[in-house]
Chain A
Amino acid sequence: MSNLEQLLRAFEYGYMWRALLVGVSVSISSATIGSFLVLKKYAMIGHGLSHVAFAAVAIGLVLNQAPLLFSLPLVVLSSIIILKLNHTARLQGDASIALMAAFALALGTVLVSTSGGFNVDVYSYLFGSILTIRQTDVYFAIGFSVAVVAFLLVYFTQLFSMTFDEDFARITDVKVSRLNMVLAILTGVTVVVGIQAIGTLLISALIIFPIIIAMQFNRSFKGTVGIATVVSIASVVSGLLISFVIDFPSGSTIVLLNSLVFFIIYSLRTILGVR
């Protein structure tokens, strides 16, 4: 059977549709929220949360709880804590997040080994496996991304203002702390929603890559966030389909695609001398 036939067969499976719906939802929220995080120099939040999400999933597995349900409050709470760390201790912020990530990873690993080691289950949470996505996950993901888009439409001007210049935003009565808090919460939820399609360890890449790729195009802020979203959706959809055909972990495929696109665009820009 040719690859093309196999690709077309992907759409015959219910789980593939569920994966695509969740994937597109996650890619929208991760690209948009990620744009603000990266430009505010909070990219480390995604990285830290990835590891916390892994620990949370491990705890869930050990306690025989639904891992995602379990992760949600833990990851969102950690997101808020990381935000505070980033704020109160500017210099040590990065270091604290790195410590937190290492601690969570170590804790997760120990928990996993006490409960039978790195089996297929754990592996799929780490790097993404679309087979585990249920119908309720789809509803939640879609609902969440609709909420994110609505939030962005209403607060876009203010979010832009505080991302470019937090002090100026404050003097124009933008509720900077409150919006930062909302961003942290939305980041936490994005990470959890992305666990199945992308995997805990790779979701942070989907927060960072799209905006970094989009910034190579020299556009307006709106344009850049738009391009990031398109890049994100395209990479997730094609990554999911490719991973179906050649049976790779979905998250890894998506992240490799993003890396490849970034590498090509960056090289072209450098070679052509575009600034």
Chain B
Amino acid sequence: MAPERLFTVEELSVHYNKVTALDRVSFGVDRGDFIALIGVNGSGKTTLARSILGLLRYQKGRIVWHEDVEIGCVAQHTGVEDRNFPATVEEVVASGVRKSKPLPKWLNRHDKTHIRRMMEYFDIDAIAKKRIGALSGGQYQRALLARSMVMQPDVLILDEPINSLDQGSQKNFLDLLKQLNQEQDLTILMITHDVAGVEPYATRILYLETDLLFDGTFDEFCETQTLSPYIHTHPRRYGRGCS
């Protein structure tokens, strides 16, 4: 059975004033893909994610949606979010309530059950009434994940979601993503720094450096000669992943 194409990025270019952040990037995403988008700082990863999410106006190229696709996102976690923001975990998760719901978007019993189930699934139901700013990094990211999953998206885009987490929480978070990917056929595009960590998870690697230099499997990525200088200059991060 041919894979079901969800969207295609065609010759996408983005410039900020004089800086070229993306240069004619093209690739397609199929349902069920678990893509790790990697690249050094400033290589355009966030720009690409924001373009796909419709948060950014791009100058050239286009993004073609092949069907009515619902997207969720978990933005780059900086660890310096407003710790004093007065909102509970439950309120944040509830803000993912389906966008087709008519105004006023007051939650009915069905919505509330759905939201509670999501919090149970992501193991944050015990801290539902806690202030969002009081959470640990891992809990915070799971709350943002739950908020997006409340929308029941087809595609989830995550921007360095595990960067500021400790090792245990990183694994826990990636395991959750893999579970969603396999059990619910959720399509995942995850931006990450660390190719070493994603090997057991991602089915596809995109390597970005303003241009899209590589699109293929993990093994192919390690063998690709053109990228080896890059792997050499980052032996700790990339060499380990490929050995």
Does A221 lie within 8 Å of B87, measured CB to CB?
A: yes
Does A171 lie within 8 Å of B71, measured CB to CB?
A: yes
B133 to A, closest residue via Cβ: A218
Main secondary structure of the interface of A (DSSP, over half): helix
> Which of A155, A164, A170 is within 8 Å of B85, CB to CB?
A164
Tell me the residues in window 57-97 of chain B with beta carbons closer than 8 Å to chain A beta carbons: 71-73, 75, 84-88, 90-92, 94-97
Does A168 lie within 8 Å of B73, measured CB to CB?
A: yes
Does A167 lie within 8 Å of B91, measured CB to CB?
A: no
Given known contacts A220-B91, A224-B86, A167 and B103 CB-to-CB distance under 8 angstroms:
no
Chain B hits for A167, CB < 8 A: 50, 53, 55, 73, 75
Give the distance to chain A from B107, nearest Cβ to Cβ, in Å: 8
Give the distance to chain B from A262, nearest Cβ to Cβ, in Å: 15
Does B103 lie within 8 Å of A221, measured CB to CB?
A: no
> Which of B103, B105, B147 is within 8 Å of A168, CB to CB?
B147
B131: Cβ under 8 A from any A Cβ: yes
A244: Cβ under 8 A from any B Cβ: no
Does B88 lie within 8 Å of A221, measured CB to CB?
A: yes
Given known contacts A171-B73, A220-B86, A220-B88, A154 and B54 CB-to-CB distance under 8 angstroms:
no
Does B97 lie within 8 Å of A168, measured CB to CB?
A: no
A156: Cβ under 8 A from any B Cβ: yes
Q: How far is the CA of A179 from the CA of B221 in the complex (A)?
A: 46
> Which of A157, A165, A214, A220 is within 8 Å of B105, CB to CB?
A157
Q: How far is the CA of A229 from the CA of B5 in the complex (A)?
A: 50
Give the distance to chain A from B241, nearest Cβ to Cβ, in Å: 30
Chain A hits for B131, CB < 8 A: 218
Given known contacts A160-B95, A164-B95, A167-B75, A218 and B104 CB-to-CB distance under 8 angstroms:
no
A9: Cβ under 8 A from any B Cβ: no
Interface 1/0 per residue, B29-45 and A, CB below 8 Å: 00000000000000000
A7: Cβ under 8 A from any B Cβ: no
Does A155 lie within 8 Å of B104, measured CB to CB?
A: yes
Chain B hits for A220, CB < 8 A: 86-88, 90-91, 129
Does B106 lie within 8 Å of A157, measured CB to CB?
A: yes
Q: How far is the CA of A156 from the CA of B95 in the complex (A)?
A: 10
Chain B hits for A196, CB < 8 A: none
Seen from chain B, the residues whose Cβ lies within 8 Å of a Cβ on chain A are 50, 53-55, 71-73, 75, 84-88, 90-92, 94-97, 99, 103-106, 129, 131-132, 147-148, 151
Besides the known contacts A164-B95, A171-B54, 12 further A-B residue pairs in the complex with CB atoms under 8 A apart: A156-B104, A160-B95, A161-B95, A164-B92, A164-B132, A165-B75, A171-B72, A172-B151, A174-B99, A220-B88, A221-B87, A223-B86
Q: List 7 A-B contacts (CB under 8 A).
A: A164-B92, A167-B50, A167-B73, A172-B95, A215-B86, A218-B86, A224-B86
